[in-house]
Structure 1
């Protein structure tokens, strides 16, 4: 070893440490549990469903094609409201000085998930309120919801995406359309039960709002957010999940001070 290649013991130790970490990561990847990943997110496009009063998603082209240097290049500008498509509602959305989307702890958006199915209870009037009794029926089969769970409700609404009239009751835009919204939601009493009796980390639905379509006071939002419990809305593909035994990961865009943000939600279902 000549003078140009000689390294002090501390440098060698650092290299060995990095090398061992790389090997550990490779081994972890090889030993990762077998199973399947389920994408619970709708994609963002021109037909993405937004609240009637919110700005819809817009994608405009900066450049797409061959450059004068002979290679392909594409880039786009994006715009739209925080609350639309698959997204998270941060507690500050309805609770002053509570967590904004960038401050929600990651561990609150990652954890064991459960799915409670209520699609068979929803009639022609889709303004169904999920009740404590709905949760207790699920628990009669599976046991009490464990502390720290992320609870998802499958109302069957996702099958209507992206038809806004079928999905949320109206395709109209503007303030006057809000009165025509019609879709299921979680009752304030059920929200209170989940927060106080089951100590959940987060809750989600396959609808545009955690409150039902006809709500004007948004009591469920207020109940959850007062306790810093975030809500996932417009969740997709819940029919692809078992009712228990999976891990949920919901990572929103990290918007400083934001009241919500577009979110990629996925679930890992291990092989049995």
Structure 2
């Protein structure tokens, strides 16, 4: 999710969270350690199948503000020089990408400061496709998390919890982003769910839509709570419907540029 006007409208609600991160550090370290331990058996039991969770990123890929997220300029021509090179300009929050805490906090962790251990996680996938069929702005709420736990067992500390809303089927259509009359419409996480997941020590959340929050959100409650608390998110995750509810391990190839609020990422899962 990235739109300069939207960010401007909500930034007054963002406060410095540096003191919060000091308190989060201890629990964050524990979550990372738990994540590493949990990921090992997931890898050991995997069949070795790799699922690419990343969309091809070009000028046509849907963006939050409707402006192309990437632009290419030829820097070196093959016919003239024997090799070729592009100069690429892109917005951090476009394509399949990561949201770092700094995205919605004044001085939170940048994408370069995320612990590498937190980028390899046990993966849990919560299916809300039935709910999303009835409501384009459906939210994954605490009750969905509790139902998942009842069916599949506890969510490991340090895990990444991904939402499967079925929205990937719409990615090549205008309905991936909005209704025919131009209103944002796509599923996302509800704050009741992310508050619960934070209490459980979950490291990251991931959506198969343009945003962590539903399209109808007016306050970006999840962005404004999940990210400043030291967690990260992933948006526009592909092929979520090819994943099991549990048992996979996700690998988040996050960029590592200084002061980054996020950026396009290569994300894969081993099943």
User: What TM-score does the superposition give when structure 1 sets the normalisation length?
Assistant: 0.78
Cα deviation digits, residues 125-147 of structure 1 (max 9, x gap): 30111111111111111112111
Cα deviation, residue 249, structure 1 = 0.6
Q: Which one of the candidate residues 210, 224, 227 is aligned to 2:229?
A: 227
* Equivalent position of 2:149 in the other structure: 139
Q: 1:136 to 1:104 in 2, by over 3 A?
A: same
Check whether the contact 1:154–1:205 (CA below 8 A) recurs between aligned residues.
yes
State whether structure 2 residue 196 is matched by structure 1 residue 193: yes
* Equivalent position of 2:128 in the other structure: 118
Cα deviation digits, residues 107-132 of structure 1 (max 9, x gap): 11111111111111113530111111
Check whether the contact 2:58–2:69 (CA below 8 A) recurs between aligned residues.
no
Q: 1:140 to 1:118 in 2, by over 3 A?
A: same
Gaps of 5+ in 2: 1-43
Cα deviation, residue 45, structure 1 = 1.1
* Equivalent position of 1:5 in the other structure: none
- Aligned counterparts of 2:244 and 2:55: Cα–Cα separation in 1: 19
Q: Which has the larger radius of gyration?
A: 1
* Equivalent position of 1:108 in the other structure: 118
Cα deviation, residue 33, structure 1 = 6.8
Q: 1:55 to 1:47 in 2, by over 3 A?
A: closer
Q: 1:32 to 1:131 in 2, by over 3 A?
A: closer
Q: 1:255 to 1:53 in 2, by over 3 A?
A: farther
State whether structure 2 residue 49 is matched by structure 1 residue 36: yes
Q: May I ask how many residue pairs the two structures share in their alignment?
A: 228
Structure 1 residue runs of 4+, over 6 Å off? none
Check whether the contact 2:60–2:68 (CA below 8 A) recurs between aligned residues.
no
User: What TM-score does the superposition give when structure 2 sets the normalisation length?
Assistant: 0.79
The root-mean-square deviation of aligned C-alpha atoms, in Å, is: 2.1
Q: How does 1:39-54 map to 2 (within 5 A)?
A: 39-52=52-65
